[in-house]
Amino acid sequence: MAVTRTFSIIKPDATRRNITGKVTAMLEEAGLRVVASKRIHMTKDQAEGFYGVHRERPFFNDLVQFMMSGPVVVQVLEGEDAVALNRKVMGATNPANADAGTIRKELAESIEANTVHGSDSEENAAIEIAFFFKPDEIVG
Ligand code: ADP
Ligand code: MG
């Protein structure tokens, strides 16, 4: 299987609890390598643009407010089949349904404040990486 890239966000519930290192360690232990990382405070435009696919969902406004409620850490992760590997270590969207040992099962607060974002396809990974990073900010 090929080494590929995916996009990750450590969400405001994690920066607030000072567990960005713990989250990153779980990603690294799963076999993912952080090849780009920065801590930012999302603007409304960034949060709405990033989650634009969810614009019609009932939770959209709350999600945008949550993503702006504190700093986040945006990251590019590299590994074998990185999109699927990251989704596996993240666990299900709702932590109540997530497998034991996953980031969301062990650390998430709720279905909204669920600690991490991860791209859901290679195509979206490329779009999401380009949304936050210039090519020269990614060092593999
Ligand atoms: P995932 O992050 O697992 O890919 P989605 O893309 O479906 O999940 O949703 C994006 C984000 O929106 C979730 O990670 C979560 O923060 C939030 N979210 C999803 N479903 C709900 C819901 N039913 N109520 C509140 N927030 C939700
Ligand atoms: Mg998603």
Q: What is the mean pLDDT of the chain?
A: 98
Say which ligand is closest to the CA of 90.
1
pLDDT beyond 90 at 1:
no
pLDDT beyond 90 at 8:
yes
Ligand 1 within 6 A of CB of 94: no
Mean pLDDT of 40-59: 97
Cβ(8)–Cβ(114) below 8 Å: no
> Which residues are CB-contacts of 58 (< 8 A; sequence separation ≥ 6)?
none
Residue type, 57: R
Ligand 1 within 6 A of CB of 97: no
Which residues are known catalytic residues? 117
Q: How far apart are CA 116 and CA 125, in angstroms?
A: 14
Mean pLDDT of 105-112: 98
Mean pLDDT of 99-121: 98
Model pLDDT, residue 120: 98
- pLDDT tens per residue across span 30-49: 999 999 999 999 999 999 99
Which DSSP symbol is given to 133? -
Per-residue confidence band for 112, with pLDDT thresholds at 50, 70 and 90: very high
Closest C-alpha to ligand 1, atom 9: 93
Distance from residue 44's CA to the centre of ligand 2 (Å): 18
- Portion of the chain with pLDDT greater than 90, in percent: 99
The answer for 132, left when phi > 0, alpha when psi is -120 to 50, beta otherwise, is: alpha
Ligand 1 within 6 A of CB of 120: yes
Mean pLDDT of 111-134: 98
71 φ, ψ (degrees, to nearest 5): -65, 155
